[in-house]
Structure 1
């Protein structure tokens, strides 16, 4: 699931300890300028990983997947158990203290083998959010979109690694260099990448980013008038700010469930679920084999803490920022898209009228739900006295809290 990563530490003792490891091979020295001062950066390598020592920090980057395959390729499946074991191998070899290394960047995704020819699928890609998906100038059949902080890559993996990849493999990958986004996934230090629960968040993130993809499906003839790029560009440039989103929602609702977009989404769901399920089936006392290298789980490993839950609804806070105590916009949006029944339960619990009659100050449903959560936090006694827990409405759902 994880491919490239970038971690950094500013701890001088940790830096010196790693830099004295004889496994590191010298690569080069480089000078760089900081304002009016010229400083030196040393570069060393270890099995295709890059170690850069600056005057005040040490950065380690590269593909953990390549590292798993002894630097040969990253074409095969790299599941959760493989990822955790490989990070543990790296940590053990360099005597790394995981909590001292902050994660600065991450690439994660999965491979699928679609029924349709991969290059044909790539030619049908149009937008990621409101950003046009374009082909890389450097690689053929390699498409990218997004910003320097977060982007997606969709490409022909078979063509990328012809010697090792299976036939007709499509790779969908998310890349981020934004600490704030990583924190929403529960990732702060490399220690977090040793937790199975984090990989569930990565799986959810993959599917969420896929939902931002707009891909034409010419087999759906009745939607042919919408399979024109200019139709969508016009919505971005000349219409109101919500026109593109509204058109996209209507387009998805019109697509049959056996359309190209939903078939690819189904494959992504099956693949990510398979990775997660395999990870949780792995017992703690069982060794994981990485190219005939046996890596045992540390007896001193810290137990994974159970996810925190909202104090009002009891729903897990896995989609909220670290330190959150209540569900907010991120959770509501996720439930509305991926768990409709639970979202309807929340609407029935929090809103006295679920048919669209909201106050004039809260015209949007999500904003209104947020407001109701705040009410229950800030005025718990007052609200309880007027009976929000006792009052029943017609056709009201009951909220099942695990």
Structure 2
């Protein structure tokens, strides 16, 4: 579930241990006051910030960059499942075994950037799926620069929503075992208040089951804001009026005109109407939502599908975690 993490520490003992770790080599300077180090064996980076008029290696804080899911797969890919227990084991190995930071010092590592996501094996044709994802709320998705395997939207200056066709991204690496119809949905946040909403303040919190439940709830909640049109709907047996509407609404031009309407909530009402008219067999948003819901349950506790259950806080709590 955890894809990218950026921690910041002001704790001098940890800072000294990091910059004196012989497994790191200095790459370059970033401006006059930041020095960048790279681990010689792992994909772990440090950005060390010093104040003006200080000695070369006297830093006021250090940022630590890690990619737990990639680390889990030998830094090759993030196209498979990565459950909370896997996350915890990886974090322990990285911070305790590799970076030599004691568990009692984990609280000194503040999380300031977080990226989390989930993979499903889509029942929907991937080309139709990725092409059809057009808006997050009212912000358009765009293809990544020079890459047509994923779409991204800058939901706010501090949050990005990403959707990936992982199967085509790694199609030349069959040894990774990534199924062709692997779809990945990700959320990236670099704003403290959004990270805090998940109950995360420091590295310590990433060992809490409740945090992963909140991450699951967040992924579902963010998917609710995605507009996906069906470019290849099955129109057999539908009324002519429904065929006409579904065909017209299956174009980005249709939604551009709705966004231009001056009426309040016009877009939101139209999205609701469109999904209703599609019904379940053509509603790609509903199909993917159910799969995301099932996958989150599987990763958290192996529970059975609860299709049709409304998304609400605490939906992923089970007897074990709620009684602890």
Which residue is equivalent to 2:17? 17
Which residue is equivalent to 1:316? none
C-alpha distance in 2 between matches for 1:216 and 1:40: 45
Distance 1:228 1:71, change over 3 A: closer
Higher RCO, 1 or 2 (CA under 8 Å, sep at least 6)? 2
Which residue is equivalent to 2:279? 256
Which residue is equivalent to 1:63? 67
Q: Tell me the TM-score normalised to structure 1 length.
A: 0.65
Conservation of the 8 A alpha-carbon contact between 2:26 and 2:35: no
Conservation of the 8 A alpha-carbon contact between 1:220 and 1:255: no
C-alpha distance in 1 between matches for 2:74 and 2:251: 45
| Structure 1, unaligned runs of 5 or more | 33-37, 280-335, 343-401
Question: How many pairs were matched up?
Answer: 280
Distance 1:193 1:138, change over 3 A: farther
C-alpha distance in 1 between matches for 2:218 and 2:30: 38
**Could you tell me how far 1:78 is from its partner in structure 2?**
1.0
3-state DSSP class of the match of 2:301? helix
TM alignment of 1:175-186, pairs within 5 A: 175-186=188-199
3-state DSSP class of the match of 2:130? helix
C-alpha distance in 2 between matches for 1:273 and 1:20: 42
Distance 1:159 1:9, change over 3 A: same
**Could you tell me how far 1:8 is from its partner in structure 2?**
0.7
Which residue is equivalent to 1:312? none
C-alpha distance in 2 between matches for 1:257 and 1:188: 40
3-state DSSP class of the match of 2:279? coil
Q: In angstroms, what is the RMSD of aligned CA positions? A: 2.3
Corresponding position: 1:111 with 2:119 = yes
C-alpha distance in 2 between matches for 1:172 and 1:127: 14
C-alpha distance in 2 between matches for 1:201 and 1:40: 34
Conservation of the 8 A alpha-carbon contact between 1:112 and 1:170: yes
Q: Tell me the TM-score normalised to structure 2 length.
A: 0.80
C-alpha distance in 2 between matches for 1:80 and 1:174: 16
C-alpha distance in 2 between matches for 1:143 and 1:47: 28
Which residue is equivalent to 1:192? 205
C-alpha distance in 2 between matches for 1:160 and 1:231: 30
3-state DSSP class of the match of 2:280? coil
Conservation of the 8 A alpha-carbon contact between 1:80 and 1:275: yes
C-alpha distance in 2 between matches for 1:39 and 1:11: 18
**Displaced runs of 4+ in structure 1, greater than 6 A?**
none
Which residue is equivalent to 1:42? 36
TM alignment of 1:155-166, pairs within 5 A: 155-162=164-171, 163=173, 164=176, 165-166=178-179
Corresponding position: 1:213 with 2:226 = yes
Conservation of the 8 A alpha-carbon contact between 1:88 and 1:194: no
**Could you tell me how far 1:98 is from its partner in structure 2?**
1.3
C-alpha distance in 2 between matches for 1:70 and 1:231: 45
- Kindly name which structure, 1 or 2, has the bigger radius of gyration based on alpha carbons: 1
- Describe the superposition over 1:37-88 as per-residue Cα deviations: whole angstroms up to 9, x where unpaired: x324132225111112111211111311111222232222111110011111
TM alignment of 1:216-231, pairs within 5 A: 216-217=229-230, 218-219=232-233, 221=235, 222=242, 223-231=246-254
3-state DSSP class of the match of 2:33? strand
**Could you tell me how far 1:274 is from its partner in structure 2?**
0.4
| Structure 2, unaligned runs of 5 or more | 51-59, 236-241, 304-308, 316-322
